[in-house]
Chain A
Amino acid sequence: GAVVSQHPSWVICKSGTSVKIECRSLDFQATTMFWYRQFPKQSLMLMATSNEGSKATYEQGVEKDKFLINHASLTLSTLTVTSAHPEDSSFYICSAIILHKAGAWNTEAFFGQGTRLTVV
């Protein structure tokens, strides 16, 4: 199946610094990628939808100036957590969708392995 590679898998940074997380679709072109955040013992929370070549669409309550998303190509989307604080510590996951036709259109989402961010 299709592969989405997310890097780094874990990162520790100092409060006030910025961290960039990359999400790559390795063997397919993803026009749309999603960024999620997962708090301990909770489900995924959609942060934003990232479309290649256009500005990301952020969910309500997500600070666009703090979580910068760039989808510069069909295979790469990046999430930058700017001026990180301890409350930004979380598990961040990206996913990319494939639209394919097998009779009718079908969609499937593929996920990166996630990034564990710890801000100290």
Chain B
Amino acid sequence: GDSVTQMEGPVTLSEEAFLTINCTYTATGYPSLFWYVQYPGEGLQLLLKATKADDKGSNKGFEATYRKETTSFHLEKGSVQVSDSAVYFCALMDSNYQLIWGAGTKLIIKP
């Protein structure tokens, strides 16, 4: 079945560092891909999404490009801030409109 694999955390970076969180998927067809973020003590929020190959989702300085050839959707940000500390989830939406989740990656940004 469909699955999502993302890099294990925690990922610890200094403020203003470059961020990459890897995400790869296996799926039949052409799923939509998502990054969600969960800040401490809060629920999930959609960070960005891409619905077809080569689409680039972007929001709040974060970007991810839907790469069909490598079945990847890596999350990147050029300069992270302390306020970016959170858990990030990669997900795909399957043909039944169910979200298949990665395990989540905890990001810790130190001042």
Contacts and interface: CB of A to CB of B under 8 A. Distances in A.
Main SS of the interface on chain A? strand
Given A42-B103, A43-B89, A43-B102, A111 B97 contact: no
- Give the size range of B's interface with the partner: 20 to 34
Given A93-B43, A113-B42, A107 B103 contact: no
Nearest to A114: B43
Contact of B98 (A49, A104, A110): A49
B98 A46 contact: yes
A108 interface: yes
Interface stretch (B44-52, B63-71, B75-83): B44-52
Contacts of B51: 104, 106
Interface string B48-60: 0101000000000
A44 interface: yes
Given A44-B44, A49-B96, A104-B51, 5 more contacts: A44-B89, A44-B101, A46-B98, A106-B51, A114-B44
Contact of B32 (A95, A107, A112): A107
Contacts of B45: 111
